[in-house]
């Protein structure tokens, strides 16, 4: 399975890295590594996230950091990463 990223997801990851690196470069590296690990595991285990109330959208938590990775398993079997955000932020909106 291939992983595909929306522009929004790529921008989310970039913003998370920038925000955290201003406060703690090592912390930013740890968080981004965990997010990337969760995302890469979706290629082998695409249904490992829980279903959401949105059609075909699933979510995985990036461990102790509480970042949420929203994604969709496409009809061609690929996984589209839709959005990445911290759980403390307002709910995911389109």
Instruction: List CB contacts of 26: < 8 A, sequence separation 6 or more.
Output: none
pLDDT at 74: 87
8 Å CB contact between 31 and 20 = yes
Determine contact, residues 25/37, Cβ cutoff 8 Å: no
Q: For the beta carbon of residue 63, count every other beta carbon within 10 angstroms.
A: 13
Q: Mean pLDDT of residues grouped by 10 in the chain (94 residues)?
A: 94 96 94 96 92 91 91 90 89 60
Q: In order of start, what are the domains of the chain with their CATH numbers?
A: 3-86 (3.30.2310.20)
Q: What is the pTM of this model?
A: 0.90
What's the confidence (pLDDT) of residue 54?
87
Q: Tell me the residue length of the chain.
A: 94
Q: How many CB atoms lie within 10 A of CB 24?
A: 11
- Which letter, b or e, does each residue of 10-19 get, where b requires 16 or more Cβ atoms within 10 Å of its Cβ? eebbeebbee
DSSP-derived secondary structure letter, 65: G
């Amino acid at each position: 399975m291939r992983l595909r990223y929306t522009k929004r997801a790529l921008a989310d990851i970039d913003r998370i890295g920038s925000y955290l690196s201003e406060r703690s470069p090592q912390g930013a590296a740890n968080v981004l590594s965990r997010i990337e690990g969760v995302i890469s595991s979706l290629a082998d285990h695409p249904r490992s996230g829980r279903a959401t109330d949105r059609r075909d959208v699933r979510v995985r938590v990036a461990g102790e950091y509480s970042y949420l990775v929203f994604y969709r398993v496409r009809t061609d079997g690929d996984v589209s990463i839709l959005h990445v955000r911290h759980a403390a932020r307002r709910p995911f909106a389109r």
